[in-house]
Amino acid sequence: MAERASGDGTGPRIEIDKDEVRRDLMKLVLTIVELLRQLMERQAIRRVEQGDLTEQEEEDLGTSLMLLAEAMDELTEQFGLTPADLNLDLGPLGPLLPRDR
Question: What residue ranges bind other proteins (CB under 8 A)?
Answer: 41-42, 44-45, 48-49, 55, 58-66, 83-84, 87, 89-93, 95, 98-101
Compute the least distance from the CB of residue 11 to other proteins, in Å.
Answer: 27
- 63-89 per-residue burial string, b: 16 or more CB within 10 A, e: under 16: eeeeebeeebeeebeebebeeeebbee
Compute the least distance from the CB of residue 8 to other proteins, in Å.
Answer: 33
Which is closer to other proteins, CB of 13 or CB of 70? 70
Judge contact between 34 and 72, C-beta under 8 A.
yes
Compute the least distance from the CB of residue 84 to other proteins, in Å.
Answer: 5
Which is closer to other proteins, CB of 22 or CB of 63? 63
> At 69, is the secondary structure helix, strand, or coil?
helix
Compute the least distance from the CB of residue 6 to other proteins, in Å.
Answer: 29
